[in-house]
Structure 1
């Protein structure tokens, strides 16, 4: 039995349930792994149904999937969307921009030449709305006098302001779009955000924000704001449901569940390099909240942390101890196309940091590792950070940028390996160098390896 099969059938846990979690700083290949796991359950294991559930983030996510030589970067939609028999659920823990979501649905149909989505798409009526007003407030923070690292590192997708509405206790939810007094609700919201932005010396109605694919959009006055929402209400209504009973029914059955997390633990506001972090819960426990307690995250059988095997990438303003020398980083960035799926920003490139990885796996509930990008290896070998020093003393990771800024990395070097994956198709037959590398990272992070990928195509994958 493979490690993958063992992980999906742990004693005392719900069989065929798996969380796919970013183990470092995002962009590790979670969408690709979710897509392949969906194919595994439907086509290799013979299940007739499967649920792919997203519980956090919003339009700031960027999960790339491919089929028949075509690929697309998904932002708000779960990566099982191309599979018939799959139900994709956008959960309560997400913050959803409805206009962008409709554009994303349209692009999926265009790219893959589809009349209808192959999968069933459901949006929890309790999911929070992230609107143009939220993006405008985030833009105002960036343009304002504040010079904080967090505000300048934001993606511009309005994620933090939308989550802040939940904390302030006046969130807008998907179901609010269909209430009889919906206009009053959204006018009140517009006025509130207009007052806040005016307090920073700007006018909401003249602000320009970015929508899907970076298209600039002027928010306009209250009438334009309401008319814009009115134009999409009936288009998105068929997808919006009370999903509580649906989730409960499938969880009590033998239907496989894949929980596709957004971002990564290194971006979680509790555990990441604060303050350049995201606002959502990037760890496995967010699933319990998003499902309304139907699913206890502790019952999920497999908890996959996805990493880029030989390096890390980071988009934003954070400074981490293992940033790579620019000459090698530039080569790697082009070879691996390291540009943000959502923002298009060039990603910073760093050596693999085992100190961070062990910490993130421990606090994030990760028990297995998926090694992507195993084909990104050079003759110079693979450097891995195995410890930190600060002031001459060995120190641990802490989730604090100020603390990390003067930490020095201690490295261990591994021999390179040949890009021989296609020749074997069997993990046990791969070179000693590959086994040594994977076993070392797994042991130090207290995890077990389950999969590796060695190319951009859907089936460039080996099960361990």
Structure 2
């Protein structure tokens, strides 16, 4: 039995979708365990480019059961569009796609509140995608959330919506000066989605427990990245859930004792979307070159990503909090052609050098990165599939990072396609 968690070890956008797609042909269950449609996993295969937001990235490779776990917040309308897109490509979901009955629902009022709150924050905005993720988790924690199982009983659903919008309409009218909402209108907007999604809603926790008892292979897929974790990230500039390995257990029902592999995904450099501290960010021509070579634009929003050198202090922190015991290095080919490659190996904070990632936002914002220069390479490594094909400088770069972190790279991605991969 293998139970592997695939985790973003930076600020998200590390290429997790490709790796989950690659590994899913050997998995019997692929489970998305947190986040919502604010995440985009880009897959490239058979000359196709597909961006998934909610459906697990294993849907296109193999015949694994693909599960949306209880830790995910689901926009029913967005999910139906995604299902239709997958079906149009010739892939069937019946019998192998499942939605947790205890996953919470993003309703139109969550998206409205998300956008209004960001607008009200003005210069202090978090930089959300406006897709209602945070407000949906607020409803969940406030114990007024609506779960997927509630969609199966329209009387219960309408009653809960009516209770919720009583408070929301008060805020819309008196605080935001916006038109109020109608429960009947919301029900009508959801009707088609409910009919489409109802056959897929089930007790996925029990399904996974039965899989564990039968020694089935399970692949747990996170969204965003460790440094965006609501507990362990650069708070408050974080997502509203737990992308870390702990979140994989609470968001799926798989117990911690069942985990056998925790795989961290890191780029050969760093990126971040939205607001928040980014110690190694490059504001010069080098940052722009990384953005262009790496095609660093958000899969969900299209926003340009902020780019910088690889931050080994932050990466070691991610390895520790997740218990990462294997690593994948993506976008290695983007580093082709640089005479020299910098990696951050320590920080200066208030005049003192440290290799400890600070948890205070005030301290993070004071970080002065200390870099180590490594030799670059001229050879084009894109598409390489064997370790021995890599130039010596590329091998040395990988070995240096492994030695610093104390964790080995088992997969090295040399391009966006499944085939452009080195398996060690």
TM class by shorter chain equals over 0.9
Q: How does 1:173-192 map to 2 (within 5 A)?
A: 173-179=147-153, 180-192=155-167
1:106-132 deviation line (CA, Å, top 9, x unaligned)? 12233x3x1634871100000011121
Cα separation, 2, equivalents of 1:63 and 1:445: 26
1:99 and 2:77 aligned: yes
2:209 equivalent in structure 1:
248
Give the alignment of 1:211-290 within 5 angstroms.
221-290=182-251
1:303 aligned partner: 262
1:313·1:350 contact (CA, 8 Å) conserved in 2? yes
Superposed CA RMSD: 1.9
TM-fit CA distance, 1:199: 3.7
Aligned-pair CA distance for 1:147: 4.8
The separation in 2 between residues aligned to 1:63 and 1:405, in whole angstroms, is 29
The CA distance in 2 between the partners of 1:424 and 1:332, in whole Å, is 20
SS at match of 1:136: helix
Q: Distance in 1 between matches of 2:179 and 2:66?
A: 35
Q: Larger deviation: 237-246 or 86-95?
A: 237-246
Q: Does 2:8 correspond to 1:22?
A: yes
Could you tell me how far apart the structure 2 residues matched to 1:117 and 1:78 are? 11
Once the two structures are superposed, residues 123-176 of structure 1 have per-residue CA deviations (whole angstroms, 9 ceiling, x without a partner) of 0000011121111111111122x3574x43111111111111121111110011
**Native 8 Å contact 1:318 1:401 kept in 2:** no
3-state SS of 2:373 partner: strand
Q: 2:415 aligned with 1:461, yes or no?
A: no
Distance 2:87 2:61 in 1: 13
Q: Partner of 2:347 in structure 1?
A: 388
Is contact 1:84-1:118 (8 Å) kept? no
Partners in 1 of 2:148 and 2:297 — Cα distance?
Answer: 31
The yes-or-no answer on 1:324 pairing with 2:282 is yes
User: What SS does structure 2 have at the residue aligned with 1:116?
Assistant: coil
Q: 2:130 maps to what in 1?
A: 156
Question: Does residue 56 of structure 1 match 2:34?
Answer: yes
Q: Which runs of 5+ in 2 are unaligned?
A: none
Contact 1:18 1:258 in 2 (8 A): yes
Aligned residues: 421
Tell me the distance in 1 between the aligned counterparts of 2:201 and 2:258. Answer: 27
For 2:263 and 2:378, the matched residues in 1 are separated by 26
Output aligned runs, 1:445-456, within 5 Å: 445-456=405-416
Structure-1 separation of matches of 2:86 and 2:383 = 33
> Structure 1 unaligned runs (5+)?
1-14, 42-48, 206-219
Change (3 A) 1:422 1:357: closer
Q: What are the Cα deviations for residues 294-327 of structure 1, in whole angstroms up to 9, with x where unaligned?
A: x222431111100111x11100111322111431
Please report how far the alpha carbon of residue 329 of structure 1 lies from its aligned counterpart in structure 2 after TM superposition. Answer: 1.6
Alignment TM-score, normalising by the size of structure 1: 0.86
TM-score, normalisation: structure 2? 0.94
Map Cα deviations across residues 342-375 of structure 1 (whole Å, 9 max, x no partner): 1111000011111111111101221211000010
